[in-house]
Structure 1
Amino acid sequence: MSLDSSIDHWGTNPADAIGAALDAIETSLAGLLAMDPDYWRTRQKKDVLARVEKLQAQQAALRLRILASSGDIAAETGDKDASAWMRAELVVDKGAARAQIKLAVAVARYELVAAGLAEGVVSQDKARVITRALDKVDADPVATSEDLVLAEKLLVEYAAEMTANELRIVGKRILVEVDPVRFEDAEAKTLLAEEERAQQKTALRVWDNHDGTIGFDGVLPTAIGMRFKRQVEAWAQPRKQQLIVKGSPLPPWERLMGQGFARLIETIDPSTLPRHGGDATVVNVVISLEELRKDLGIATLGYDETNGTTITAAEARRMACNATIIPWVLGGESEVLDAGRDSRIFVPIQRKAMRLQQKCCQAEGCDMPPEWCDAHHLNPWVAGGRTDLKDGVLLCPHHHRLAHNPAYTHERLPDGTVRFARRS
């Protein structure tokens, strides 16, 4: 005896019910899409946008419910989850698919969040923020199950009044709202740990685009990042106001911020900057006498053409108005003259000349940039060594310490580099 697999034991056909419901949704959407919003009243547009927002949340609730029980789909594909099927059939990136499945599993753990999605009061973005906050509460060794329940209740209530970003901020300190007495100290510790992690994440990357621009990106701690933003805005806003007064079209805000940042860099007082190897931070421009005399001459911004960036002589002259410039005008043999031979220590111009000639730390195999190196006497002054370029060598702080460490010996090789060896 065989049974019709499409009929269940309760005498209904769920497949037909699901198909009929989807048909109704598709028909209604098709009808709305056939209409032209240009002819709708403002009141109607507002109403449609509000209801569509709610429908999107409910649609997300339906999708997440299905994904939370999609183990049978994964079993068919032999994958650990339904992401492979979603990639093949729905043309969804596996990373995005797995993120949706992960959210579906998270929402299934929290009844109030799931109910909020189903009612259309919690969007998918807000659900993701809330579940992440609740997962952290659940992992908190101090928080109880009652704290977790109350935190979920509060966050779902806040979802009706806050954006996802605002919820994210509140979610970080939701336990303080649950019980300020117990969790204020914990919040302070959490913030301290967050700030310490921010220091570890701090990074700045700078590269030459070889099209007249320098690209950069990075990550800053919040406190420093906000100061940076405000300082750049302080230079960008006057430019915007000037254009408004003139009646000129406004460029994109990103361009104004970029111009403001450039102006901020140009107005930094070099005397307030850190000192590298005993010298104040400066800009070095290398240019031949022949190029200097040309209207369209070319100079190198840096220490050499390999590690430096070429600019026009005109730009070099303009920079000299706003920054400390060390000009190196080279003769036919590109020679740099010694200076200050009678000094006990290398004077600034000698250190700059060494950087121009040696390009980096002279320890064998080390490529530390010259800006971070110290000038070192290969033959000690007390042993009759002279403070001149022939006896001077650039060493990074690490190798400079080794040079003065009696446990190590060092010698200059024929190519000018310095080899270190531990004494036997």
Structure 2
Amino acid sequence: MSLEHGTNHWGTNPNDPIQTAVAAIETAIGDLLAMDPIYWRTSQKKHLLTQLEKLRAQQDALMLRVLAVSGDIAEETGDKDASAWIRAELLLDKGTARAQIKLATAVSKQDLVAAGLAAGEISQDKARVITKTLDNIAANPTATSEDLILAEKLLVDYATRLTAKELQIVGRRILREIDPARFEDAEAKALLAEEERARQKTALRVWDNHDGTIGFNGILPISIGMRFKTQVEAWAQPRKQRLVDKGVSLPPWERLMGQGFTRLIETIDPDALPRHGGDATVVNVVIFLEELRKELGTATLGFDETNGHTITAAEARTMACNATIIPWVLGSDGQVLDAGRSSRFFQPIQRKALRLQQKCCQAEGCDMPPEWCDAHHLTAWALGGRTDLKDGVLLCPHHHRLAHAPGYVHERLPDGTIRFTRRP
């Protein structure tokens, strides 16, 4: 029976069962949106959230079912699939649309997955995990068609009790669960192949945002990635705990992790780094003498402005305390006046001595433990300060930056602590 029979002059058919059902859904959602959930009972909120999640899965099931037979839409648009129409009409990226169509095709071949979606028992994310796992099993020469059927049944059952990420972990060993004797070696080989693929995927992109920040993203093998995550968290967690202990509201965890990563980079032992460009791995900072003398001077991070980046003189002085840098001080006509001094870092034995003398950050009122502090030159090393115990003081990263910030002055009190005062 044609659904277009009885189309009115608006191009719709009042008797179209599809349109009638969609209109009922829209009306029901409209009724719910007209209510204010702030007045709802807790039990009502919990029940609605549960039902909405189930309805979301059923909506996805319906969309995937339609996409699986959307070849006529592709014919109409002249494209190889319906993604061009989806991009134009629904304003979804073509890649996203094609991923949906691919999933729709995969789900249409798996009756149990399709039934789980239609019943609202498994989500689209879980369906994607299951179909991808089943594709991998189908490509496994050791697996049989019976294994594939049993794997689908087990995965759909697991999907009702696990999150998508947990389901993905289970999927990697589902064949071993089916037949341990037959698939144990196959699983080990698959794991080795996965690790090799991870090494091949390893990548890092770094770019200049031209707003004072550097952006980066990358992919690491799981063994390295977890070490990276753990090390960054090791630097971020003490800051979080200190703020909690002081009753200070916490910044976003992402910011704390960013600060932790910063500290990880700042504290890398330069002696452990490889040689780079024929020399030790260092950063060069070029600054003119008149800029060095200014409170708001600037310097170049790198050898020249064309290939380097402009930073403040205060930041350069901060780096000179605890980063691997060589400062080059130039005269007005560009001649080199100072090419740095070799003893620019506090040696490990000196840091141990400072830790014995100074039990925490020496800023007045700060109790950051010494292991999280920098060794700071009271007379800035970049301005001629000496790297010795008399001129050394432990400061937490926050107060270390204040020590070099032009907006603050600091003085050493009789008890040895450092008092910071905002410059008038």
Give the TM-score normalised by structure 1: 0.71
2:36 matches 1:32: no
Check 1:286–1:181 CA distance in 2 against 1; reply closer, same or farther (3 A cut): same
Unaligned stretches of 5+ residues in structure 1:
8-12, 340-347, 349-424
Check 1:81–1:312 CA distance in 2 against 1; reply closer, same or farther (3 A cut): closer
CA distance in 1, matches of 2:268, 2:294: 29
1:324 aligned residue: 324
Deviation per CA, 1:361-409: give whole Å up to 9, x if none.
xxxxxxxxxxxxxxxxxxxxxxxxxxxxxxxxxxxxxxxxxxxxxxxxx
SS at match of 2:299: strand
| Offset, 1:333 | 5.2
| One-letter amino acid of the counterpart of residue 41, structure 1 | R
Which deviates more from structure 2 when the two are superposed, residues 75-84 or residues 127-136? 75-84
2:247 matches 1:240: no
CA distance in 1, matches of 2:27, 2:3: 29
2:224 aligned residue: 224
Which deviates more from structure 2 when the two are superposed, residues 288-297 or residues 233-242? 288-297
CA distance in 2, matches of 1:90, 1:253: 35
Give the TM-score normalised by structure 2: 0.71
Q: Where do residues 207-356 of structure 1 align in structure 2 (5 Å cutoff)?
A: 207-276=207-276, 279-331=279-331, 334-335=334-335
| One-letter amino acid of the counterpart of residue 237, structure 2 | Q
Which deviates more from structure 2 when the two are superposed, residues 107-116 or residues 181-190? 181-190
SS at match of 2:322: coil
CA distance in 2, matches of 1:242, 1:235: 12
Which deviates more from structure 2 when the two are superposed, residues 56-65 or residues 144-153? 56-65
Which deviates more from structure 2 when the two are superposed, residues 34-43 or residues 111-120? 34-43
1:161 aligned residue: 161
SS at match of 1:140: coil
2:82 aligned residue: 82
| One-letter amino acid of the counterpart of residue 130, structure 2 | I
CA distance in 2, matches of 1:312, 1:122: 55
SS at match of 2:300: strand
CA distance in 1, matches of 2:32, 2:190: 49
| Offset, 1:314 | 2.5
1:379 aligned residue: none
| Offset, 1:111 | 0.8
CA distance in 1, matches of 2:107, 2:139: 16
CA distance in 1, matches of 2:318, 2:25: 66
| One-letter amino acid of the counterpart of residue 213, structure 2 | T
| Offset, 1:96 | 2.8
| Offset, 1:46 | 1.3
2:125 matches 1:125: yes
CA distance in 1, matches of 2:271, 2:4: 84
Check 1:325–1:35 CA distance in 2 against 1; reply closer, same or farther (3 A cut): closer
Deviation per CA, 1:83-119: give whole Å up to 9, x if none.
3333444444433332222211111111110111111
Check 1:97–1:214 CA distance in 2 against 1; reply closer, same or farther (3 A cut): closer
| One-letter amino acid of the counterpart of residue 112, structure 1 | L
Which deviates more from structure 2 when the two are superposed, residues 104-113 or residues 238-247? 238-247
Check 1:28–1:305 CA distance in 2 against 1; reply closer, same or farther (3 A cut): closer
Deviation per CA, 1:286-314: give whole Å up to 9, x if none.
22333333333322222222222222222
Check 1:290–1:126 CA distance in 2 against 1; reply closer, same or farther (3 A cut): same
CA distance in 2, matches of 1:23, 1:206: 49
2:141 aligned residue: 141
Superposed CA RMSD in Å reads 2.9
CA distance in 1, matches of 2:17, 2:31: 21
1:59 aligned residue: 59
Instruction: State how many pairs are aligned.
Output: 332
Which has the higher Rg, Structure 1 or Structure 2?
Answer: 1
| Offset, 1:159 | 0.5
| Offset, 1:4 | 11
CA distance in 2, matches of 1:234, 1:74: 53
Check 1:305–1:21 CA distance in 2 against 1; reply closer, same or farther (3 A cut): closer
Over the matched positions of the two proteins, sequence identity in percent amounts to 75
| Offset, 1:334 | 3.9
SS at match of 2:321: coil
SS at match of 1:280: coil
| One-letter amino acid of the counterpart of residue 214, structure 2 | I
1:112 aligned residue: 112
CA distance in 2, matches of 1:279, 1:87: 52
CA distance in 1, matches of 2:51, 2:45: 10
CA distance in 2, matches of 1:278, 1:301: 19
| Offset, 1:223 | 1.2
CA distance in 2, matches of 1:25, 1:48: 15
CA distance in 2, matches of 1:50, 1:295: 60
1:370 aligned residue: none
| Offset, 1:216 | 2.0
2:71 matches 1:71: yes
Check 1:49–1:153 CA distance in 2 against 1; reply closer, same or farther (3 A cut): same
1:200 aligned residue: 200
CA distance in 2, matches of 1:19, 1:4: 10
8 Å CA contact 2:4–2:16 kept in 1: the answer is no
CA distance in 2, matches of 1:237, 1:333: 48
CA distance in 2, matches of 1:282, 1:84: 51
CA distance in 2, matches of 1:4, 1:263: 66
SS at match of 1:212: coil
CA distance in 2, matches of 1:211, 1:110: 50
Check 1:176–1:332 CA distance in 2 against 1; reply closer, same or farther (3 A cut): same
| One-letter amino acid of the counterpart of residue 274, structure 1 | P
Check 1:291–1:144 CA distance in 2 against 1; reply closer, same or farther (3 A cut): same
8 Å CA contact 2:329–2:336 kept in 1: the answer is no
Unaligned stretches of 5+ residues in structure 2:
7-12, 343-424
